[in-house]
Structure 1
């Protein structure tokens, strides 16, 4: 795959014009990079709890403890691709610098959680298995139907707890599908193999602070 434009990721039904939405996301990635809110908006919270079987009561309970994480099911509203933090940081950079951007992204316990389109957890492992560079991608966990994930709180909580890197801020966020995630994984694997990316980790990273210093060789 040579470009993310070949992706056939299904968008939310709320997006009537997929091409316009994708073009807008690409412009945003070029203009401002992945510098989005790290706190969930009201619309973003409604989108998150729509994954629950009881969204109204789930939201009401969550609002009483906004600094507490929540556990939400995957497979209907979103899937989650769970990768090592350093690889995830590179993955996110590729998505925003050269691709269409990303949906919500969280960090927890030295891992990065990339929220993806439903069905990604089923297709991505098979696509990686067929891809020439698939073996260079570190082991990842794909959470889909029947799984659940810990979601960062509505408001910043404990320093060691899960946190948003790109928080949901709309009721219908665009989510990358398996083809987009595959494209970014391959680009990162190839770049890492070629030695054009160096990552140094501060001492705080060992304590789960997820502090990165990424530079490219010229």
Structure 2
């Protein structure tokens, strides 16, 4: 005999097909942070980092341009309407196309910002990002956290044509342009730095006590 005939107890049970509401049902059944992880992984398809607190992997589907909130607000006009934007304290995180981190140093040099100290950085491959709580209603009650979604993400929002990227053959003229975005936020970062530098000595003089003879 080639082997014993399998019985019903040894046969693998058929998997129950997942309906369209399965991710949402799973989110409701888990705890707050587990619901958030399920929402990011199952609904958006974004990779997360194991462990707590919940963090997202940069450099896979998107990179993240991290700038002061004032500078980021000025760059919003260069984003597509559905492009996700997060806010954490006084910092704004703009999602850009994956691979942008490698392009940024050369791009800043080309824009003649390379020799200027700028308060901006970019998170690319190997970096992680604090995961803001999902928007209300997306995965139950939001978890507590410092970061929030200013423009919440949705399925398909990080497609190549949706996020700012370097100009390339095949990209439509209306596609978000990383060059314009970086030039705008760099100029605003530099302007804010000059404003602080000019205000510093004056502020120091105002804080000095008045001298009477």
TM-score of the superposed pair, with normalisation by structure 1: 0.51
Shift of 1:52: 3.5
Q: Which has the higher helix share?
A: 1
**2:159 counterpart of 1:176:** no
**Corresponding residue number in structure 1 for 2:62:** 78
CA distance in 1, matches of 2:39, 2:179: 29
Gap change, CA 1:115 and 1:188, over 3 Å in 2 = closer
Write out aligned runs for 1:8-157 (5 A).
Answer: 46=42, 48-52=44-48, 70-92=54-76, 94-95=77-78, 100-101=80-81, 103-133=83-113, 138-154=118-134, 155=136, 156-157=142-143
Q: CA RMSD in A?
A: 3.6
Asked whether the equivalents of residues 134 and 186 of structure 1 are also in contact (C-alpha less than 8 Å), the reply is no
Shift of 1:185: 3.0
Shift of 1:116: 1.2
Shift of 1:75: 1.1
TM-score of the superposed pair, with normalisation by structure 2: 0.52
Asked whether the equivalents of residues 106 and 152 of structure 1 are also in contact (C-alpha less than 8 Å), the reply is yes
Asked whether the equivalents of residues 102 and 176 of structure 1 are also in contact (C-alpha less than 8 Å), the reply is no
**Corresponding residue number in structure 2 for 1:161:** 146
Equivalent pairs, count: 139
Gaps of 5+ in 2: 1-35, 137-141, 168-176, 196-213
Gaps of 5+ in 1: 1-39, 62-67, 199-218
Higher relative contact order (CA 8 A, sep 6+): 1
CA distance in 1, matches of 2:53, 2:163: 21
